[in-house]
């Protein structure tokens, strides 16, 4: 019986174990499929969030580059805009960009923490697929963090940078205009100075040699000096329209010399240039003739009223400057009874009469 029962029991056991094996096999396949479903949802959700994080990081990096550029433009434009309006606006935009960056940094950190937390929970709940699937589905429902404010901040900053650069160009144009104006003013001043110089030169020429240095040669014997003689007082007494300028070295190479510098209108004071190294010699006989000759030029300039050359040419038959010099020697003879001897030592009575008119 035992044997018999054993024979009977064996197939039952075999059948039963076959049944259990099929049930277990079916159950295991479903479990794996559920895990895979959870994994698929989790993978999709993770990928979505990773994409969002990468996009935020990219836009934040882009904004930082624009902020650095804005900072450089702000620094470089100091003192190079007509007013501070655009630079003040740029600073405001930079501040706004900084705020945006901080806010997004925080949002990114929060999103990353959500992802990390869900990943932990997912791994630990994977042995029970329904829970893991719930975690994955929750993660999939996490809203994206928008990068709109990062992009808006970058756009606003670029507009502000462009405004500052435009203001810099306006400033440069203004600087160029000022420089051109200054250059034009300088050119005009130089031209006016040149014209004035040319006019003075022309006046000098028309004066008939008032600017020629009169320098007689040394006398054969030493001449007596006059210790009480005062050059300025002497000139003032015969040519009140003249004044003396002492020019050291003026007569280097001469025994003595003098130079009358005429110009302007007839009443313009005439400068008589003398050499301070020769004060003593001016007090001797020859020196006095030079002072008188130069004083005569001052009086000629006043007397002939613009026709100094023509009138003296008519009196002497000489031409140009030589006529004026000749008559200055005649005028010297009128005063002293002798001349410098440089242009003439004697004059006709008509010439002396004419020369006397200037004194």
DSSP per-residue string spanning 83-122 = SSHHHHHHHHHHHHHHHHHHHHHHHHHHHHHHHHHHHHHH
Token couple for 107? 């949002």
Closest approach, Cβ 198 to Zn ion, in A, equals 23
Q: Judged by CB, which is closer to Zn ion: 147, or 294?
A: 294
- The residue within the footprint of Zn ion, chosen from 244, 256, 325, 332 (CB under 5 A), is 325
CA distance 270 to 301: 8
Closest approach, Cβ 275 to Zn ion, in A, equals 15
Residue whose Cβ sits closest to Zn ion: 214
Binding region for Zn ion (CB under 5 A) out of 40-48, 121-129, 237-245, 324-332: 324-332
* Cβ-proximal residues to 150 (8 Å cutoff; 6+ apart), any chain: 56, 59, 60, 62, 63, 100, 101, 104
Closest approach, Cβ 329 to Zn ion, in A, equals 8
Contact status, residue 44 vs residue 74, Cβ threshold 8 Å: no
Strand partners, 246: 274
Q: Which positions from 201 to 220 touch Zn ion by CB under 5 A, shown as an x/- string? A: -------------x------
Helix (H), strand (E) at residue 272: strand 270-274
> Is the backbone of residue 209 left (phi > 0), alpha (psi -120 to 50) or beta?
left
Closest approach, Cβ 210 to Zn ion, in A, equals 7
Closest approach, Cβ 342 to Zn ion, in A, equals 8
Size of the site for Zn ion (CB under 5 A): 3
**DSSP three-state, residue 261:** strand
Q: Judged by CB, which is closer to Zn ion: 214, or 316?
A: 214
CA distance 251 to 274: 8
Q: Is 271 in the site for Zn ion (CB under 5 A)?
A: no
Q: Judged by CB, which is closer to Zn ion: 113, or 310?
A: 310
Q: Judged by CB, which is closer to Zn ion: 136, or 327?
A: 327
Closest approach, Cβ 297 to Zn ion, in A, equals 5
Q: Judged by CB, which is closer to Zn ion: 93, or 214?
A: 214
Q: Judged by CB, which is closer to Zn ion: 52, or 214?
A: 214
Cα of 208 vs its chain's centroid, Å: 50
Q: Judged by CB, which is closer to Zn ion: 118, or 308?
A: 308
Q: Judged by CB, which is closer to Zn ion: 135, or 278?
A: 278
- For residue 153, how many other CB atoms are within 10 A of its CB? 25
Binding region for Zn ion (CB under 5 A) out of 106-114, 171-179, 271-279, 322-330: 322-330
Q: Which positions from 69 to 108 touch Zn ion by CB under 5 A, shown as an x/- string? A: ----------------------------------------
Closest approach, Cβ 251 to Zn ion, in A, equals 14
Count helices and strands (H / E) in the chain: 10, 3
Q: Judged by CB, which is closer to Zn ion: 129, or 215?
A: 215
Contact status, residue 297 vs residue 270, Cβ threshold 8 Å: yes
Q: Which positions from 282 to 321 touch Zn ion by CB under 5 A, shown as an x/- string? A: ----------------------------------------
Give all strands of the β-sheet with 259-261 in edge-to-edge order: 242-246, 270-274, 259-261
Closest approach, Cβ 173 to Zn ion, in A, equals 57
Closest approach, Cβ 284 to Zn ion, in A, equals 19
Contact status, residue 176 vs residue 120, Cβ threshold 8 Å: no
Residues in the site for Zn ion, rule: CB under 5 A? Answer: 214, 325, 328
């Amino acid at each position: 019986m035992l044997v018999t029962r054993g024979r009977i029991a064996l197939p039952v056991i075999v059948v039963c174990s076959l049944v259990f094996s099929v049930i277990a096999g079916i159950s295991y396949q479903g479990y794996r499929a559920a895990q895979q479903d959870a994994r698929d949802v989790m993978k999709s959700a993770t990928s979505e969030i990773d994409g969002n994080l990468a996009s935020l990081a990219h836009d934040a990096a882009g904004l930082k580059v624009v902020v650095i550029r804005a900072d450089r433009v702000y620094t470089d434009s100091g003192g190079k805009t007509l007013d501070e309006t655009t630079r003040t606006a740029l600073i405001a935009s930079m501040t706004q960009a900084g705020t945006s960056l901080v806010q997004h940094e925080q949002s990114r950190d929060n999103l990353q923490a959500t992802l990390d937390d869900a990943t932990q929970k997912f791994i630990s709940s994977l042995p029970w697929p329904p829970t893991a699937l719930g975690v994955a589905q929750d993660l999939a429902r996490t809203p994206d963090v928008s990068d709109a404010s990062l992009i808006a901040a970058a756009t606003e900053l670029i507009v502000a940078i462009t405004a500052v650069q435009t203001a810099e160009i306006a400033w440069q144009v203004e600087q160029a205009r000022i420089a051109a104006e200054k250059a034009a003013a300088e050119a005009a001043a130089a031209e006016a100075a040149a014209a004035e110089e040319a006019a003075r030169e022309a006046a000098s020429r028309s004066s008939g040699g008032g600017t020629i240095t009169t320098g007689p040669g040394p006398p054969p014997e030493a001449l007596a000096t006059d210790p009480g003689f005062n050059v300025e007082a002497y000139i003032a007494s015969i040519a009140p329209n003249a004044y003396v300028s002492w020019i050291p070295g003026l007569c280097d190479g001469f025994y003595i010399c003098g130079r009358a510098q005429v110009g302007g209108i007839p009443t313009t004071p005439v400068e008589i240039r003398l050499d301070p190294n020769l004060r003593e010699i001016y007090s001797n006989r020859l020196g006095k003739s030079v002072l008188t000759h130069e004083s005569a030029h001052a009086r000629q300039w006043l007397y002939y009223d613009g026709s100094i050359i023509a009138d003296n040419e008519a009196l002497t038959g000489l031409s140009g400057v030589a006529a004026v010099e000749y008559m200055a020697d005649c005028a010297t003879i009128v005063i002293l009874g002798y001349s410098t001897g440089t242009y003439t030592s004697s004059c006709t009575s008509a010439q002396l009469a004419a020369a006397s008119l200037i004194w």
